Amino acid sequence: MTSGATESDNIAVKGVAWRSRDIQPQRNRILVSAIEHHAVLHAADAMSAHGFVVDVVQPDSEGIVQPEAVAEMLSPETCLVSIMLANNEIGTIQPVREIATIVREAGAVMHTDA
């Protein structure tokens, strides 16, 4: 158990990034959406100080992160993709099932703040 969502997101993002680099050093990219909760964005940004590259996928005009947009931004170096299930500010529900399928096929780990 953790003290809450922020700690949980930090453990997930940082833990996956560190472990991925231990196993496959070339996997040094983290992909997040521009509308993630700050707990995820700050954790990803913190990893950039350790050599990770943070890529940011933009939502469409309706606030939806399209699976195709995620697929276009994935690279062989991507270790983690984090897309929240439901946006806490505008209420959009993201297509995480479809995104997770794409992420798994690319060999990366999918995290969702749900």
Say how far apart CA 61 and CA 36 lie, in whole Å.
16
Say how far apart CA 68 and CA 99 lie, in whole Å.
8
Q: Where are the domains of the chain?
A: 5-111
pLDDT tens column, 78-114: 999 999 999 999 999 999 999 999 999 999 999 999 8
Specify the CATH number of the domain 5-111. 3.40.640.10
Determine the angle formed by the axes of helices 5-23 and 38-48, rounding to 10 degrees.
30
Report whether 24 contacts 48 (CB < 8 A).
Answer: no
Q: Which two tokens stand for residue 71?
A: 């697929």
Given this model, what pLDDT does residue 1 score? 81
Q: Which residues contact 89 (CB under 8 A, 6 or more apart)?
A: 35
pLDDT tens column, 34-77: 999 999 999 999 999 999 999 999 999 999 999 999 999 999 99
Q: Which two tokens stand for residue 35?
A: 């509308």
